[in-house]
């Protein structure tokens, strides 16, 4: 068959076959919402409050953390302070007996008791031998002898057979009570030594 010349404007027809159903694809576009001034102000206020709440929550959390850190520092500080105080207390406890004894020595050495105190010191020594009350010998210094001699008649009611002896070596306020069971030594040196032993046990 003879073909005529090619016409560039000729329309070419093709047949397309579809083997399945058509699927319609569509994009749903939501309408744009327009806020009123009141709604915009309300949304702004809500956002501001939410931001403030979150900020407050963050501040509270940081405050709690800060308080925990400060508490830890305090605990550590007071723990170390307690250790330092204990060390100082131990050091004081070590020197306290000697210090107290030295103070007692100085006080007793420079102390001249009044007559009523002399009488009281001697009575304390006599009571220390209770229930032994008969034939006791009370030894005192020269100054105290005059004070005690005036009390002997009264004391004989409680301590039958009591006698008073003078020892020039005894200072004022010193005394001894002698009995068949032993001696109560109330001289300054004995008192200081008793104080030393008592403090050393603590």
Structure letter (DSSP) for residue 171: P
* Residues 95, 48 share a domain: yes
pLDDT at 125: 93
Q: What is the pLDDT along the chain (202 residues), one digit of tens a residue?
A: 445 455 544 445 555 554 555 444 445 555 556 667 777 677 777 777 776 666 556 656 765 676 676 667 667 766 666 676 677 767 666 666 677 777 777 777 777 889 999 999 999 999 998 899 999 999 999 999 999 999 999 999 999 999 999 999 999 999 999 998 889 999 988 888 887 777 777 6
The answer to whether residue 29 is domain-embedded is: no
Q: Are 147 and 173 in contact (CB under 8 A)?
A: no
Distance CA 115, CA 150 (A): 11
- Residue finishing a domain among 60, 94, 110: 110
Q: Are 186 and 125 in contact (CB under 8 A)?
A: yes
* Residues 192, 177 share a domain: yes
* Residues 81, 132 share a domain: no
Domain count, the chain: 2
- Residue finishing a domain among 62, 83, 110: 110
* Residues 137, 57 share a domain: no
Residue with tokens 């702004």, as numbered in its chain: 44
* Residues 101, 63 share a domain: yes
pLDDT at 154: 93
- DSSP alpha helices (H): ranges in the chain? 37-109, 115-127, 142-149, 152-158, 188-201
Q: Compute CA distances 191 → 47, 55, 181, 186, whole Å.
A: 85, 74, 20, 6
Q: Compute CA distances 5 → 2, 8, 10, 12, 183, whole Å.
A: 10, 10, 11, 15, 163
The answer to whether residue 84 is domain-embedded is: yes
pLDDT at 89: 66
The answer to whether residue 191 is domain-embedded is: yes
Q: Are 158 and 133 in contact (CB under 8 A)?
A: yes
* Residues 97, 121 share a domain: no
Spatial neighbors of 58 by CB under 8 A, at least 6 apart, are none
* Residues 99, 49 share a domain: yes
Q: Compute CA distances 85 → 33, 92, 96, 97, 198, whole Å.
A: 74, 10, 16, 19, 24
- Domain of residue 159, residue span: 113-201
- Residue finishing a domain among 110, 135, 155: 110
* Residues 72, 144 share a domain: no
């Amino acid at each position: 068959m003879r073909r005529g010349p090619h016409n560039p404007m000729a329309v070419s027809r093709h047949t397309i076959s579809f083997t399945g159903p058509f699927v319609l694809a569509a994009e749903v576009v939501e309408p744009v919402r327009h806020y009123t001034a009141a709604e915009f102000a309300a949304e702004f206020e809500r956002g501001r409050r939410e931001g403030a709440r979150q900020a407050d929550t963050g501040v509270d959390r940081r405050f709690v953390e800060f308080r925990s850190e400060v508490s830890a520092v305090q605990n550590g500080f007071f723990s170390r302070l307690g250790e330092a105080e204990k060390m100082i207390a131990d050091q004081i406890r070590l020197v306290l007996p000697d210090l107290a004894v030295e103070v007692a020595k100085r006080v007793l050495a420079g102390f001249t008791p009044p007559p009523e105190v002399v009488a009281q010191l001697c009575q304390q020594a006599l009571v220390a031998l209770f229930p032994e009350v008969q034939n006791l010998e009370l030894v005192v210094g020269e100054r105290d002898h005059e004070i005690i001699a005036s009390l002997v008649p009264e004391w004989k009611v409680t301590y039958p057979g009591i006698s008073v002896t003078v020892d020039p070596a005894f200072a004022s306020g010193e005394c001894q009570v002698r009995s068949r069971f032993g001696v109560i030594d109330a001289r300054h040196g004995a008192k200081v030594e008793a104080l030393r032993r008592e403090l050393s046990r603590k």
